[in-house]
Amino acid sequence: MNFVRNIIYALLALQEKILRARLGKTLGVTQKSGRKKVFQNGCVLSLDTLADSEKNKMEEELSIILKQLDFEPEKLLDYVAKHGTRVFYIKNPHSLYSIGENEGFIYPQKGFKALYISLLTNSGFRFKTDEMFILSKGQINKFYFVYHFYNWFAFQRKISGMDSESLAILNKFLFNSTEEDFKKLQLSDIYKLKDAIKQDKASIDFVLKLCRELEGAQKAFEKLTDNGASI
């Protein structure tokens, strides 16, 4: 789970930088953003509450699918392909590292990254690509893949923070940014980055919870079989 731990540390550091940038942008602002709440006919609707409700509903649906498919990466990949997302296999995953990506779910790209990915996957000469999975041949770690399957599922459901623009901002500031870049962030971009971080953390929390549940179930099964053998 080193991958998950490293992502958590990076996200925490990024969250701290965003809070500083957000504070600098909002100091002296006299009007409320409207991002958090919408007032209409005396009613108050929290957009964050609505987003959380959508996320919880999505996770319930996702849990059912994962159980039906036994959490197996190959079965999940078949599910992905049947729902219109292409799956590509490459020889060397390091080919993705140079553009700040890891093997797994790749959100839609534009420009140089799209061209690089299209050439890497033998998909022609393109400056715009759809969402896809790129994996190396061989056994796939179950929990690593569930993390990417979660992100793909959330992207398909248009969950807040999982749109291409928000993910592009997150990717940039997670792997290649400076303090000066944060100072140049517009308030709208800060909110998009905040939503993307929140959603990425949600996917990590989902995987960690799944790990605990499956490990607990395995220990309970071993205990039952040990007790049965001793009778």
Q: Quick one: pLDDT band at residue 184, thresholds 50, 70, 90? A: confident
Residue 90 has pLDDT above 70, yes or no: yes
CA 149 to CA 200: how far, in whole Å?
12
Per-residue tokens: 24 = 């600098």
Any domain includes 96 = yes
Residue 108 has pLDDT above 50, yes or no: yes
% of the chain with per-residue pLDDT over 70: 71
Q: What is the distance, to the nearest Å, from the Cα of residue 216 to the centroid of all Cα atoms in its chain?
A: 25
Are 201 and 161 spatial neighbours (Cβ–Cβ below 8 Å)?
Answer: no
CA 182 to CA 63: how far, in whole Å?
36
Any domain includes 16 = no
Any domain includes 36 = no
Any domain includes 26 = no
Contacts of 187 (CB under 8 A, 6+ apart): 22, 25, 26, 33
Any domain includes 62 = yes
Number of domains in the chain: 1
pLDDT at 77: 97
Choice between 154 and 23, residue whose per-residue pLDDT is larger? 154
What letter represents residue 16's amino acid?
Answer: E
Determine the structural domain holding residue 156 and report its residue range. Answer: 2-8+47-223
Percent helix, strand, coil in the chain (nearest 5)? 65, 10, 25
Any domain includes 23 = no
Any domain includes 231 = no
pLDDT at 6: 59
pLDDT at 29: 42
pLDDT at 53: 87
Choice between 48 and 104, residue whose per-residue pLDDT is larger? 104
Any domain includes 31 = no
Q: What is the pLDDT of residues 9-37, one digit of tens each?
A: 566 566 656 655 654 555 444 334 334 44
CA 18 to CA 150: how far, in whole Å?
24
Q: What is the mean pLDDT of residues 3-10?
A: 57
Are 87 and 154 spatial neighbours (Cβ–Cβ below 8 Å)?
Answer: no
